[in-house]
Structure 1
Amino acid sequence: MDSGTIVYSNLEELSKSIYQLTDGEADIKGWPVRNEAGDAVGNVRDLLFDPEQNAVRYVIVELADMGEDLEEKAVLIPIALANLAEDKKEVVLPDIHHDQFRAMPRYIIGEVTPQIEDEIRRVIGSPAALRIEDEIVEIDRANFNRHQL
């Protein structure tokens, strides 16, 4: 039975944690974010860090004004989907559809729950949209974001 207690994930914004980037790791805060087609998506506000696994889990993206009644908001993009451009300081995401951005939950500092992480997976885990898997499967929470920049 649901006790009504909210359980938050133990994630910290990188800029507010004691974690330090090591030599060779790019500090991407403030970098522009584009999709594969080169369209502006927004800017990197920060990274969300899991201190228990000592790993970055999400890129916090402040969405730009992309029209189509898409509100400007911060969203979490799993680090595994973010790529660094080879020739300039920018982050490249797969072509995520505007409807997916619209459906993404708004990121609120300190309020990331397992349910929000499941919702992010549901919204952007579409294999037709992102071509990243053959079928959507149950989340293996221990390995979902085991990726580094």
Structure 2
Amino acid sequence: MKTLLLNDLTDIELQMLNLATSVRENAYSPYSNYKVGAAVLGIDGEIYTGCNVESADFTLTSHAECVAIDSMVKSACYETKLLLVVLESLHSPTFPCGLCRQKISEFTPDNELKIISVNLDSESKIYKIYETNLTELLPNRFTSDNFLNL
């Protein structure tokens, strides 16, 4: 993992940052007030976005990263090239949760996906930017290779 500056981001990463920041405002989070926006760059070159949608039954909550991937899949794109998430956090780096990591890995055949987390302060200004990859976050992912051969 490394820390980045805003000017370290590429043009496509800046575009993804703007889209994820914008869609984050649409998050439905009346219980936690924890809004997350995500942008996924598909292998087709398109950017797909998602935000979290909470439910009173938290097990029904949709995570921003999963919503973005679902959006990619509905467009018949099944592989990711880059993931960027935007959320409010002044704490240590905040990356996708375990559930999201596993879903992301389903659409990242080589497990080398670059993941950028943009942490905002309480006024929605960029506080810190972190970069890692899926291998670092999910070194022993569950894949179809884990199934028994029948």
TM-score calculated relative to the size of structure 2: 0.29
Greater percentage in helix? 2
